[in-house]
Copies of this chain bind each other. A is one copy, B any other.
Amino acid sequence: MNKKRHSLKDIARELNVSVTTVSFVLNGKGKEKKISDEVIKKIQDYTRKINYRPNLVAQSLRTGKTKILVFMVEDISNYFFSKIARIIEDIAYKEDYKVLFCSNENNDDRSRELINLFYERQVDGFIIIPSPGIKDSIQMLINNNIPVVLFDRYFDDLDTNYVVIDNENSTHHGTQHLLSRGYRNIGFITIDVDQIQMKGRLDGYLNAITENKLKSYVLKIPYSETGSKNGKKQIQQFLQKNPDLDAVFFSTNYLTQIGLEVLREDHPRKLQEMGIITFDDNDLFKIYSPSISAVAQPLKKIGKELMKIMMEMLQTDKGIKSTRHVVLDTKLIPRDSSLPKEEKLMHS
């Protein structure tokens, strides 16, 4: 049952021509290489008859290209990452590239192992959300002239291509929005991690609070606990310990999900009365009751910019001389959860 693949050699032997001739014809270079129409037709007819398929693995070995890109994120099943994955897949498809996805769980060991594995497999390029401590692995790729673009975050002291958003400005803007709607005691629930994007989000919030001479309320949850009951418990305790909070800003979409669950179960009244903003939008936030105001990342733009840089690198053999740094704006989408405080209290 195991059909043997036909090699160029087999075809050449069968038709009594050279391997080079077969190769030229199959690559559409028959005329250019002055091979006779008769021989071209003979080779084309035969390969059609045997349903010949080129061995692309062998081709990869010759060209050094695999036409495969790696897309490494924290968790492919997260809304934000899976949406970007789809956008990248669609662009890659049009450019004749395929995408391997993997989830690094924001874990350094797993990230390093995956990068090494794919490096050995000679994929053509990497689009990576780096975990906190893998600067060395990224440096290794760059040293080996492998196209790599980081996104969502980068390393301050490593000169790489990256596509990020202006996190600090985004949360500053979001916090100002809550302040302008009459909220004064605004909590910020975020991830306890020493990464540039989360620092930016926290700074934006803290600056807005300080500028307005208000008190800050910050809860930091370890990333590893966001999927567990412990993460939920920490939000419960934070809300209990700070009964004067009149608004809360969640710094990621999965934190918002946990927060909404806690509010819904323990504080249904607060769910209606508090000001709520989420970082990262989700289709379901807009149909939630109340609909949840969001700082939305420009998903399409992020995907397009990532692939633009990647394709540029792939198409220039010598690599790009200077690295590209793209910083995109987010969009504040006000919904019912951040209606003016007075209006909310009147209705609830």
Binding site for B on A (CB under 8 A): 1-3, 53-58, 60-61, 66, 68, 75-79, 82-83, 85-86, 89-90, 93, 98-103, 117-122, 143-145, 257, 260-261, 264, 282-284, 286-289, 319
In the bound complex, CA of A35 to CA of B288 (Å): 69
Contact of A122 among B57, B68, B86 (CB under 8 A): B57
Residues of chain B within 8 A (CB-CB) of A288 are: 284, 287-289
Option from B66, B98, B122, B287 in Cβ contact (under 8 Å) with A117:
B98
| Known A-B contacts A99-B100, A117-B98, A287-B261; A85 and B89 likewise in contact (beta carbons under 8 Å) | no
Chain B contacts for A102, CB-based, 8 A:
89, 93, 98-99
The 9 A-B residue pairs whose C-beta atoms are closest, nearest first, are A77-B86, A82-B82, A284-B284, A289-B289, A77-B82, A56-B120, A261-B287, A77-B83, A2-B145
Contact residues in B for A103 (Cβ distance below 8 Å): 86, 89-90
B117–A55 touching, CB < 8 Å: no
10 A–B contacts from the bound complex (CB under 8 Å): A57-B60, A76-B101, A77-B83, A89-B102, A98-B100, A98-B118, A99-B101, A257-B287, A282-B284, A288-B289
A121-B85 contact in complex given A257-B283, A264-B287, C-beta closer than 8 Å: no
Contact B121 A57 (CB under 8 A): yes
A85 closest partner in B (C-beta): B76
Copies in the complex: 2
Q: How far is the CA of A140 from the CA of B120 in the complex (A)?
A: 31
A76 and B68 form a contact (CB under 8 A) = no
A96, closest chain B residue (CB): B117
Question: In the complex the two chains form, is A101's CB within 8 Å of B77's CB?
Answer: no
B contact residues around A145 at 8 Å (CB): 1-3
**Minimum CB distance partner of A260 in chain B:** B287
Task: Give 9 new A-B contacts, CB below 8 A, not counting A1-B143, A76-B101, A98-B118.
Answer: A1-B145, A3-B143, A57-B66, A57-B122, A93-B102, A99-B101, A100-B100, A100-B101, A257-B287
Instruction: Give, as a whole number of angstroms, the nearest-CB distance from A18 to chain B.
Output: 22
The CA-CA distance from A29 to B191 in the complex, in Å, is: 47
Contact A122 B76 (CB under 8 A): no
Chain B residues, CB < 8 A from A143 = 1, 3
Q: How far is the CB of A316 from chain B (nearest CB, A)?
A: 12
A2 to B143, CA, bound (A): 8
Closest partner residue, chain B, to A284 (CB atom): B284
A77 with B66: CB separation less than 8 A: no
Assembly CA distance A68 to B121 (angstroms):
10
Residues on the B chain within 8 Å of A118, using CB: 98
On whether the beta carbons of A284 and B257 are closer than 8 Å, the reply is yes
- Tell me the bound Cα distance from A343 to B319 in angstroms: 67
A51, chain B: closest CB distance, angstroms: 9
Most buried by B among A54, A66, A68, A101: A101
Least distance between A310 CB and chain B CB atoms (Å): 17
Query: Are A101 and B85 in contact, CB atoms less than 8 angstroms apart?
Result: yes
Closest CB in chain B relative to A95 CB, distance in Å: 13
* Closest B residue, CB atoms, query A265: B287
A334 CB to closest chain B CB (Å) equals: 17
